[in-house]
Structure formats: structure tokens, C-alpha cells
Structure 1
Amino acid sequence: MSQETPLVGIIMGSKSDMPAMEPCMEQLDAWGIPYEVKVASAHRKPAEVHDWASGAHERGMRVIVAAAGKAAHLGGVVAAYTPLPVIAVPMKTSDLGGLDSLLSMVQMPSGVPVACVAINGAKNAAILATQIMGTGDAALQQKIIDFKREMAEA
């Protein structure tokens, strides 16, 4: 992670989510996109989540990626406190394989949207975050164009 102002905020509910989120960070690193990582549960540390999420846009972030498992309310709680787009990554769980997390994330009430990728889809979250930022940044959009061309040629 560079020392530049983070463009992407990555928040996860538990330190145990870190290994599953590494592909997100690795993809952002590969593209030189600065990010910030926060570990805070929507249920165990709600005030900390509120403070972090409500100030993210003022700190220069442009997209937030939120990863959580089981009840998986983190993405929705973050979305309630920020004007930034939020991408949720449902974590695979031992109980229901991540279906519980997925359903919690995609069933958001009207007015509080959260985009959602596949269960443990951390790399796709980084790609989607870059696509979103690329709508207003030609250099980031070029990274996506190059990435898709490389995939097609592989």
C-alpha cells in the first residue's frame, strides 16, 4: 500500500476475513491504487464503523469495499453512513457456505444500495471498484481496458 491518499477503503468485520480479502489488496497493489484497511465489526464496534465510514469521503476515498460473514450487515451499515459507492464481499461461512452472507448483503432496503460480488469475490471487488473510479479517471479506465485485453489473450 502506498503512502498516497487512499482511493479505496477496505473494511472487514474480523481479522479472520483478512486472508480472503488479500486478492482485493493484491489487485489494487498491482494497479498502484492506494487503499486503507480497517477491521471493525458492525455489531461489536458500531461506533468505530460509524466514525470510519462517515469520514471516508472527506479523507479522499472514492469507493468502499466491505467484507463480512454470517449476518453480514457491515456493507449496509457502511452504506448508511457514506455517500460513496459500497461493494460488499460476502465471506464464506462454515454454517451455510456464505449464502447467509450473500443474502444479507443483496437484500438492502430502498435508498441504501450496496453492490455485491460473489462469495469470497475479493478480486472482483477490486476490479469493480476500479471500474467505478474509472468512469471519471482515464488512467484507471485504461487499467481495466488493458486487464480485459490481457484476459482475452490468455
Structure 2
Amino acid sequence: MAKVAIVMGSDSDMPIMKKAAEFLDQMGIDFEMTIISAHREPDIFFEWAKGAKDRGVKVIIAGAGKAAHLPGMCAALFPMPVIGIPMKTSDLGGVDSLYSIVQMPSGIPVATVAINGGLNAGILAAKILATSDEKLLEKLEAYSEEMKQSVVEKAEKLDKVGYKDYE
């Protein structure tokens, strides 16, 4: 049974949404992934979102661009956390998407990550699940330690070779 559902409105969102999926894979978290347009196929969307809880979904990650209604509509229909990923757009650089996702009415919250923030959406979903999963929490703590070590190693390299030879 899936624990996280990843949904996007278009396959053009895949490069960003893939980052969330890859992180969930890395953490050993089950997920489902699909493409549904809330505007072009509302009947299919409503059935998918309303059925998510019964499919074992605990968190939805929804990516959308432009008017970006997909995450908010997920939050309106799904009783558990929804994480919205605003997509960068050619017209307004993703600010349109960001505002559409983050400016939800009272009572229908969507946790929103940065424009094109697929990786952070995956991490946030894992952190939500880790509140009741000690093994997952340990994996996340190890991931944080790996990030720290990476920065320490880069600083040591810079000290050793200097900025001119740093590659």
C-alpha cells in the first residue's frame, strides 16, 4: 500500500517531480505517481483524490504551474497533508504558481516548497511520515549527517587547494 502519492498536472513537470520520487525511493518509502489535470479531467481527478485515503496514502505531493489549482484541490478533498510544488513558468517565472499554491483560504492548508522544489517536497513528506516511524527518522538523521559531511569536505578541499584551483 502506498504511503505517498505524487501527482502532476503535466508530464512537463516530471523533471521536478522525479526529484521527490527519487528521494522517497532512497528512503524506502512506498509511493504512487500519476499525471492528472484537475482542469481537463476533473472527474478523474476527483475520483483519484477522494480515493487516496483508501489506497493508504498519508501525504500527497502535488506539482502544478500557472494557475496551479492541483495542490489546493487535493487539499480540499484529501484529509491529510498536501505538499505543493510550484512549477517555474515561462510567463511569470513560477511566481504565479507559488501564489496560487501558497495563498489558500483558511481551513484548506497546503504546505508549499520553493519553486521547482521537488527534492524538498520529498524530504518534507518523509519528515511527516517519520513522526510515527522510528526507522524512517533514523534514515533522515543519517541523510542530514551526510549533507553535513559533504559541506565539511568541501570546506576542507577549499582550504587545501584555494579558490583558484577549486573545481
Aligned length, in residue pairs:
150
- Specify the alignment match of 1:119 in structure 2: 115
RMSD: 0.8
> Where does the alignment leave 5 or more consecutive residues of structure 2 unmatched?
151-167
- Specify the alignment match of 1:144 in structure 2: 140
Q: Residue by residue, what CA displacement relative to the aligned partner does 1:7-50 show, whole Å, maximum 9, x if unpaired?
A: 10000001111122111111111111111011111111111111
Quote the sequence identity (%).
Answer: 55
Q: Secondary structure at the match of 1:58?
A: helix
> Where does the alignment leave 5 or more consecutive residues of structure 1 unmatched?
none
CA apart distance, 1:66? 0.2
TM-score by length of 1: 0.95
Letter in 2 for 1:54: K
CA distance in 2, matches of 1:60, 1:82: 12
CA distance in 2, matches of 1:105, 1:60: 24
Q: Residue by residue, what CA displacement relative to the aligned partner does 1:30-89 show, whole Å, maximum 9, x if unpaired?
A: 111111011111111111111111111111111000000000010000111111100000
More helix by share: 2
Matched, 1:87 2:83: yes
CA distance in 2, matches of 1:143, 1:107: 33
CA distance in 2, matches of 1:57, 1:133: 14
- Specify the alignment match of 1:108 in structure 2: 104
- Specify the alignment match of 2:41 in structure 1: 45
CA apart distance, 1:149? 1.1
Rg bigger for which structure? Answer: 2
Alignment of 1:13-52 (within 5 A): 13-52=9-48
Letter in 2 for 1:30: Q
Query: Which contiguous aligned blocks of 4+ residues in structure 1 show a shift greater than 4 angstroms?
Result: none
TM-score by length of 2: 0.88
Q: Secondary structure at the match of 1:118?
A: coil
